[in-house]
């Protein structure tokens, strides 16, 4: 029982990171119907920016950890949001009226470009970061010596994910920007006729998704303590799988899909062979889509004629 609870906590933590990345996929797809396959690399860039900011603060002698974390998050979100805006402006906006395969090819090309850009500028070796937040809360001390512990880092990741999920849900449902995004999702041409600045709305959607990816990258760096130029591809594929599993276009579905993928990976690694954890995750995805083609919380897409 103790081992199960510990794996449950680990799975929720990993799923929270996947969920934050998956929201970026689902927001972009919900509005413009395109899959931003470069979004995983945006997550990776956010992690590298956070590492660079941490090293810069350490060189300046700033050591108060809460202040350091706030500055790192702010810097990572700011610069990664600029990357997200640039990707939309350069790679997506010129192809918005083109055939549907063109943006997909561009997204894959942008993904490869960002991978190689970081590899050239930062090097191919992994970048370590010593543990910054240590300790935790002991929830259960089993008779077999198995201790169920919720680390402070896991608590921060889970709490921050819940707060961001609630905040973005309120933005989508209660604010003027959210109404414009929902209008663009239903019909971009009609929204434009009604006075909605479609280009600005789509750009802000990319910026918001990139900001969430930056938070996920920062949490990944602090949680695992090691990053490289390739982490964006793996995490991006997992997050895209989570978005599809939860129902692409649905924010709660993206978070639910992320939690599902994280739990499947963690429990499979804990009870079976770790080499086949990805096979298990993608197999569950295939089974769900066979019986629920729109995902767990997705809505069937109605083709406009």
pLDDT tens-place string over residues 251-284 = 888 899 999 999 999 998 888 888 888 888 888 8
pLDDT-based confidence at residue 302 (cuts at 50, 70, 90): low
The percent of residues above 90 in pLDDT, for the chain, comes to: 43
Q: How many Å apart are CA 135 and CA 124, to the nearest integer?
A: 31
Q: Which of 5-14, 22-31, 65-74 has the lowest mean pLDDT?
A: 22-31
Q: What is the pLDDT of residue 163?
A: 92
Structural domains of the chain sorted by starting position, each given as residue range(s) with its CATH number in brackets: 2-291 (1.10.3470)
Backbone CA torsion sign across 132, 138, 141, 142: negative
Cα distances from 207 to residues 8, 56, 89, 294, in angstroms, run: 32, 24, 11, 26
Residue 130 has pLDDT above 60, yes or no: yes
Count the Cβ atoms, other than its own, within 10 Å of residue 209: 28
Maximum average pLDDT range among 73-77, 128-132, 233-237: 73-77
Average pLDDT over residues 32-46: 87
Q: How much is the pTM? A: 0.91
Q: How many Å apart are CA 64 and CA 133, to the nearest integer?
A: 12
More confident residue, 207 or 29: 207
Q: Which of 32-46, 139-153, 291-305 has the lowest mean pLDDT?
A: 291-305
Q: What is the pLDDT of residue 303?
A: 53
């Amino acid at each position: 029982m103790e081992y199960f609870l510990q794996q449950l906590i680990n799975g929720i933590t990993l799923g929270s990171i996947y969920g934050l990345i998956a929201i970026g996929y689902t927001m972009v797809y919900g509005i413009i119907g395109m899959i931003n396959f470069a979004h995983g690399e945006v997550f990776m860039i956010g992690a590298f920016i956070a590492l660079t900011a941490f090293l810069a603060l350490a060189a300046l002698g700033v050591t108060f950890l809460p202040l350091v974390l706030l500055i790192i998050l702010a810097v990572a979100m700011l610069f990664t949001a600029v990357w997200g805006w640039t990707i939309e402006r350069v790679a997506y906006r010129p192809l918005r009226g083109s055939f549907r395969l063109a943006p997909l090819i561009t997204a894959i090309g942008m993904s490869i470009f960002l991978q190689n850009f970081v590899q050239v500028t930062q090097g191919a070796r992994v970048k370590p970061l010593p543990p910054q937040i240590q300790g935790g809360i002991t929830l259960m001390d089993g008779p077999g010596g198995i201790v169920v512990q919720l680390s402070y880092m896991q608590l921060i990741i889970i709490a921050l994910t819940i707060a961001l999920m609630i905040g973005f849900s309120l933005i989508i449902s209660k604010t003027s920007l959210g109404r414009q995004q929902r209008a663009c999702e239903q019909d971009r041409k009609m929204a434009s006729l009604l006075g909605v600045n479609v280009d600005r709305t789509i750009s802000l959607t990319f910026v918001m998704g990139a900001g969430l990816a930056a938070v996920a990258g920062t949490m990944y760096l602090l949680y695992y303590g090691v990053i490289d130029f390739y982490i964006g591809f793996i995490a991006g594929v997992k997050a895209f799988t989570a978005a599809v599993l939860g129902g692409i276009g649905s924010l709660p579905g993206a978070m639910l899909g992320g939690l599902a993928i994280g739990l499947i990976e963690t429990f499979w690694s804990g009870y079976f062979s770790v080499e086949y954890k990805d096979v298990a995750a993608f197999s569950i995805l295939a089974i769900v889509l066979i019986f629920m083609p729109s995902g767990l919380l997705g809505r069937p897409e109605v083709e406009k004629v």
